[in-house]
A and B are shown apart, each in its own frame.
Chain A
Amino acid sequence: MENEMTCKELVELVTEYLEGTLPEDARRRMENHLLGCDGCTNYLEQMRQTIRLMGQLREENLTSEQRDDLLRLFHDWKKN
């Protein structure tokens, strides 16, 4: 008989779950738990949002100075 997974245990498995590296058995127990637990469902959803937002952090555009430096470097290399 499987032990029921607690919320406290579940939150420690979220990364493995989202990365797809959680073993099949644990994944099944986790999904069973999620079916009946709003708190953990919200936690998982918050984590998904967090990851999504980190991917949206805007990249700084290159300054013209940076671009000039890098192109100079490229042209020096090209000459040799």
Chain B
Amino acid sequence: MDAKLDEITLLNLLRQRDEMAFTQLVEQYHSSLVRLAHIYVQDTTIAEEMAQETWLAVLHGLDRFEGRSSLKTWIFTILTNKAKTRSQRENRTLSYTDLEESVEAERAVDPKRFKDPSADKNPGHWAAPPDSWSSIPEDRFLSEETMNLIRETIDGLPENQRLVITLHDRDELSAQEICNILGISETNQRVLLHRARAQVRHALEDYLQAEF
């Protein structure tokens, strides 16, 4: 396939009802949209429907889109707005404040891995420091098993952490874009990302421990 078209070119082509432009967008973002929808709703069919409804809204909204955000952010925002409306209707309102509290209590690393505050020498320093991963071969990292472990760990995270880490580290959106899409503060975004990443790292560390 040809090199990917940039957003402005894509947008212009799309407005001229160009099928290739639509296909490219769909190839780029549909799976991400379904995955994102799936965080809000359990049912795969409904998640798929929500992504389809998003595309319909994108097509119908093209002429009104003013380019104040990127096309990508706009598309993702349409989806999350739909998802929020739906989960409110189903009485499954995401409560950011509830989650923020539980998140605050968590630490990135188990406190037991650090020396006690009352220790004579170096309190707060590693008692059980992490190993270097530099001797682990690349194909071990990229193996299906490792990738599945990462996927499962992300899937097991609290909903809001899952949303943030998925958008940030899988879909590679910026913090600012994520704040706009999810309607959360920058601080909250960062706390959620921090906790989520810490747990994925921890799962990987446990899993790769067998290497040493």
Chain A residues with CB under 8 Å of chain B are 6-9, 11-12, 14-16, 19, 21, 37-40, 42-43, 45-47, 49-51, 53-62, 66-67, 69-71, 73-74, 77-78
Docked complex Cα distance between A36 and B6 (Å): 45
Please classify how large the interface on chain B is, using the bins under 10, 10 to 19, 20 to 34, 35 or more.
35 or more
Q: Given contacts A16-B190, A19-B190, are A45 and B147 in contact (CB under 8 A)?
A: no
Taking a contact as CB atoms under 8 Å apart, the answer to whether B170 and A69 are in contact is: no
Please, which residues of chain A bring their CB within 8 A of the CB of B55? 70, 73-74
Docked complex Cα distance between A74 and B108 (Å): 45
Docked complex Cα distance between A40 and B114 (Å): 12
Of the candidates A38, A40, A57, A78, the one having the most CB atoms from chain B within 10 angstroms of its own CB is: A57
Taking a contact as CB atoms under 8 Å apart, the answer to whether B134 and A53 are in contact is: no
Taking a contact as CB atoms under 8 Å apart, the answer to whether A19 and B30 are in contact is: no
Please, which residues of chain A bring their CB within 8 A of the CB of B141? 49, 53
Question: Which residue of chain B is the closest to A61 with respect to CB atoms?
Answer: B31
Indicate whether B48 reaches chain A with its CB closer than 8 angstroms. Answer: yes
Docked complex Cα distance between A36 and B16 (Å): 60
Taking a contact as CB atoms under 8 Å apart, the answer to whether A51 and B169 are in contact is: yes
Taking a contact as CB atoms under 8 Å apart, the answer to whether B133 and A57 are in contact is: no
Taking a contact as CB atoms under 8 Å apart, the answer to whether B125 and A73 are in contact is: no
Q: A39-B130, A56-B147, A70-B30 are in contact. List 17 more A-B contacts (CB 8 A).
A: A8-B124, A11-B108, A15-B190, A15-B194, A21-B190, A38-B129, A38-B132, A46-B133, A53-B141, A54-B165, A54-B169, A61-B31, A66-B30, A70-B26, A70-B52, A74-B22, A77-B17
